Structure 1
C-alpha cells in the first residue's frame, strides 16, 4: 500500500469523524445533555443515522477494491466523493444552532480524544496485520466507515459518561452559588415563564412592561436551562435589580423541579401547552403536568 493512499485515507477518516462528531454533539446538546433522550433520538432514527445511501456506495467501492477492479487511490477518491456528497442527517432544521459553551467544549474535546484513540488503535491493528499477512490496502479504506460512521454516536455518549462526574461537580457549584445569591436578596421578585410556545416573547413583553417602573433583569434569548439560569443569576444579577424574570424550559420529567431548586418564583406564567418535546415527555398530559408543577413551587 502506498504512503499516499494511507495518508489520504487517514485524513479522510479524520475529516469524516469530525463532521459526524459535530452533528451528534449538537443532538446531545439539543437533548439537554440528557443521555437517555439522546439515545432515544439515535435509536428512533437508525436509517437516518447509521445506514445511509452513501454506505451502499462505500460497500460497493470496497468490493471493487478487494477484487482488484480498481486501484486504491481510485477507491479512496470515489469513497470520499460519496460521503462528502451525502445529505444532512435530518430534514428539519434545528431550532437552535450548536453553541460551544464551556460544557460542550469539554465534551467535544473528550469525544475527539476518544476518536483519535480509536483511530490509533485501528491503525496499530492495521500495521500488525500488514506485517503478519502482507499488503491489505482495503483495511485503511474501512477506517472511515467503521470509525466515523458507526462509532461517532457512541463516542459522543461515551464522552458524556466520562465527563458526567466533572459536570455534576461544576453544576453543583453553580447551583449553590446561584441559590446563595438569591437567598441574600429577599427583596427580589422572581417571575418564572414557561410554556410550549411563546416563552421568550412573553418574557420580553413582561420585562418591557415592568421595566417602566422597576429595575428588571430578564434572561437573554432562550436561556431556559439550569446552567443558563445560574449563569444569569451569578454573573448579571446586581443589587439594584428589583425583578428577575426567568424563562424555564422543559424537555424531560423533573426539569421544572430542578429549575425551581435554583430559583423559586413568586409569580408563574404559563403561556400554553402544546406538543413540543412530546417524544421525551410521552404525552401532552405529561407536558401539562410538568409545566403546571411550576405552581406548587410558588413562594
Structure 2
C-alpha cells in the first residue's frame, strides 16, 4: 500500500527537474545558438591577427563570453519583434515564443538583461571600446535591421547584415584597443559574404517569407536575378579576402584562393542551373558558405599563430 505514494514522491522531483530543463532550453533557444557559433568563429581569428600571435587566453574567454551574450541578446530581442512572422513560417514555428514556452514579456527582459551583462563583461574584462561596439551591434540589429529594414526592403539583409560583421571588429578592439584596417577588411568580407549566404537560404524558403510578408530578395525578384546577385556578391567576397594579403603570409593566401575558388564554383553552378531552367538546390551553396567562412577565418588564425613573415 505504500508503494504508490513512494513512487509519486520520487516522480514529482523528476518532473520538476524536467520542466526546469525545458524552460532553460527554451531560453537558450531564444539566443539562436547556431547563429552565435558562426559569429564566434570570426571573433577568435580577428583576435589572433590583432595580436599577430596567440592572444591572452583570459582575454579570448572574456571576449567570447561577452560576445556570445551580446549576440544572444540581439537574437532574443529579434525573436520578440518577429514573433508574428515566426508564427506563420514553417522554418520558425518551433521557436519558444511561438510555442508559448517563454512569455513575450519575459523574453524581452531576458534579451535586455543579456545585453546589459554583455556590456559589463566586455567593459570590465576587455575594454570600453569593445563593449561600446558590442552594444552598437545589438542596437543596429534590433532597431535598424529587425524593426526598420526587414519588412520594408529586399535589401534588408544587405545592410542589416552589418550587425553580423561586428564580432571581428569587437575581437580586434578587445586586443588592440582600437580598430585598424585589417579589422575593416574582415568586416567587409563578412558583409559581402552575408547576401549570398542568406539569399541561398531564402531561395529555399521563399514561400515561407512570402507567406509572412517579408520582402526577401527571392520573394520580389526572379530566380535568375537572385542567382546573378549571389554570384556578384560571391566574387566580391573572394576579391575582398585578398585585401588581407599585406597582413598575412602565403599560408593564408593559399587557403583563401583555394577555398574561394570552391565557393565561386558552387555559386556559378547555381546561377548556371537557374539560367538553364534546371532543378536547383540553393542549400548546397548555403551549407558551403558556412564552411567557406569557417575555413577562411581558421586560416587567418593559423597564419597569425605560426608567425611567418607577411608578404609585404
TM-score (norm 2): 0.27
Structure with the bigger percentage of strand: 1
TM-score (norm 1): 0.28
Q: Which has the larger radius of gyration?
A: 1
Structure with the bigger percentage of helix: 2
